[in-house]
Structure 1
Amino acid sequence: MKRARIAWQGAIHSVTPADAGQVQLADGRCVAEQDVVWLPPVDVGTVFALGLNYADHAKELAFKAPETPLVFLKGPNTIIGHQANTRRPADATYMHYECELAVVIGQRGKHIAKADAWQYVAGYTVANDYAIRDYLENYYRPNLRVKNRDGCTPLGPWLTDRDDIANPMALALTTRVNGVTTQTGSTADMIFDIPTLIAYLSSFMTLNPGDVILTGTPEGLADVKAGDVVETEIEGLGCLVNRIVDDQTFFAPA
């Protein structure tokens, strides 16, 4: 089952897919997608992000593939929904997308064995974790401005239940900029798979429902400019659409 969260007519609703271009509310009413504000599909808790979790991406950046997971945290201010805007600061010279499989935790757990990891997963969604190369000091330890800027990480549109995805470690990832495909890959190419990440993280901290693990991105990054429409799509999960805007647009009064 796919579920999303929207704001409509002054309230937050849980919705499911309906006919093309519509979503269905819990009471059965259907609403046009263009008439709602898309929210992140889950009430997000702690966000864990993986660096260099695809060997081809590490090679693309001239880095050796890591021997243990490289993880950093993201604040709740970073997360926005489908069809939202992300700012490209005026001083940025290279800002790129990162199409990522997002794993949503469904139950509390610590010291989780790899063999038991799947039962702690609620489902999956799509993330686009933008980065600005200008601000990057070290790929192994991204500083706050790279990965914790307001609205730098669209998430959604749907949360797809764990049991609806037969093999999350074999999903195609695609990014399109203004309709042109710029990135392709497969979750099969992760260095550290989902059970390994859950076991690793839970070995030293408690995982809670709503926590999200961003599992990294494959090679194929490209600079994006204000005005670009970026689509990040993962097989079986849906297509997350986001627009890049300049400072003037981003800070304009509502």
Structure 2
Amino acid sequence: MKYLRYGEPGRERPGVLDDAGVIRDLGGRCDDLAGDALDPARLMALTGADLASLPAVDAGVRLGPCVAATRQFIGIGLNYADHAAETGMPIPQEPIVFNKAPGCMAGPNDAIPVPPGAAKVDWEVELALVIGRRAWQVEEADALGHLAGYCICNDVSERAWQLEGTGQWLKGKSAPGFGPLGPWLVTPDEVPDPLSLAMTLEVNGETMQSGSTATMIFSPAYLVSYLSRFMVLEPGDVITTGTPPGVGMARGRFLRPGDRVRARVAGLGEQVNEVT
């Protein structure tokens, strides 16, 4: 299934996309796509077989981040072999872990604001994992059973804040609008192989990134297991898993107001964001 959240910022309602592409309201069955509602078994039970019985929603409605009440927004750096090569960095021997402040989360088509003082705002199309069941010390073989699903993330980054000065990644990853998520939370049954997904990102119609999750160094299952060695992962936590080559930093090009960014991951939809 493809779950989503729609409505004005801060007042989103849960919904689901039916086979005809119509948004159906889930507000009568759960308060939001958060907490216990994200448990894989409960999530699948929200809809049942008869989606047509759920109220239809206007097609032009705003979509919000596809998950709510996120406690941790965790990023993985240099997790694509071809991206590591373009940066001139060695392939990591273990995952590089950083955080994005959850306050950076935005809807899949919301604007990306350039913060005051920012000069090197960059793009990164990524596959994101959404935790659905509490994970602590889980084995890799069991790790994907803890997922509510997958979605697109654009891990927007301000490179000067991330890498220059004191070089703290959190500072460069966390401004408002720096974490568009969605459009959908896609359940794992619709993504049988998360390591075979084509992904692209365009700026003003020009392809900047074109890659595949097949070049990931550490798989989604490994990442969930690895992170659960050091911290408890709770329902609603987001793990964004790295990006293929073609980022602005490698090209010497960064986002400016007026740019239009389009990010796609096969089976997970697309995001279109204006830079403001």
The offset of 1:22, in angstroms, is: 5.1
Please say if residues 5 and 41 of structure 1, whose CA atoms lie closer than 8 Å, have aligned partners that are also in contact. yes
The 1:11/1:220 distance shift into structure 2, 3 A limit, reads: closer
The farther-off stretch of 224-233 and 15-24 is 15-24
The 1:93/1:14 distance shift into structure 2, 3 A limit, reads: same
The offset of 1:231, in angstroms, is: 1.2
1:127 paired to 2:141 = no
Q: Name the counterpart of 1:155.
A: 181
The 1:20/1:177 distance shift into structure 2, 3 A limit, reads: farther
The 1:182/1:103 distance shift into structure 2, 3 A limit, reads: same
1:13 paired to 2:13 = yes
Count of aligned pairs: 242
1:42 paired to 2:42 = no
Once residues 235 and 111 of structure 1 are traced to their aligned partners in structure 2, the CA distance between those partners, rounded to angstroms, is: 31
Q: CA RMSD in A?
A: 2.2
The 1:9/1:158 distance shift into structure 2, 3 A limit, reads: closer
Please say if residues 21 and 32 of structure 1, whose CA atoms lie closer than 8 Å, have aligned partners that are also in contact. no
Please say if residues 117 and 198 of structure 1, whose CA atoms lie closer than 8 Å, have aligned partners that are also in contact. yes
Once residues 145 and 117 of structure 1 are traced to their aligned partners in structure 2, the CA distance between those partners, rounded to angstroms, is: 30
Match of 2:271 among 237, 240, 251: 240
Q: Name the counterpart of 1:23.
A: 23
Q: Secondary structure at the match of 1:135?
A: helix
Q: TM-score with structure 1 length normalisation?
A: 0.88
Specify every segment of 5 or more residues in structure 2 that has no aligned partner in the other structure, as ranges: 27-52, 249-253
Report % sequence identity: 40
Q: Secondary structure at the match of 1:157?
A: coil
Q: What letter corresponds to residue 3 of structure 1 in structure 2?
A: Y
More strand by share: 1
Q: TM-score with structure 2 length normalisation?
A: 0.81
Q: Secondary structure at the match of 2:103?
A: helix
Specify every segment of 5 or more residues in structure 1 that has no aligned partner in the other structure, as ranges: 246-254
The offset of 1:12, in angstroms, is: 3.1
1:67 paired to 2:93 = yes
* Structural mapping, 1:112-123, within 5 Å: 112-123=138-149
Please say if residues 16 and 25 of structure 2, whose CA atoms lie closer than 8 Å, have aligned partners that are also in contact. yes
Q: Name the counterpart of 1:205.
A: 231
The offset of 1:100, in angstroms, is: 0.4
Q: Name the counterpart of 2:41.
A: none
Match of 2:260 among 205, 223, 229: 229
* Structural mapping, 1:81-160, within 5 Å: 81-89=107-115, 91-137=117-163, 142-160=168-186
The 1:225/1:10 distance shift into structure 2, 3 A limit, reads: closer
Once residues 142 and 17 of structure 2 are traced to their aligned partners in structure 1, the CA distance between those partners, rounded to angstroms, is: 31
1:169 paired to 2:195 = yes
Q: Name the counterpart of 2:3.
A: 3
Q: Name the counterpart of 1:179.
A: 205
The 4+ residue runs of structure 1 with deviation greater than 4 A are 8-11, 18-22
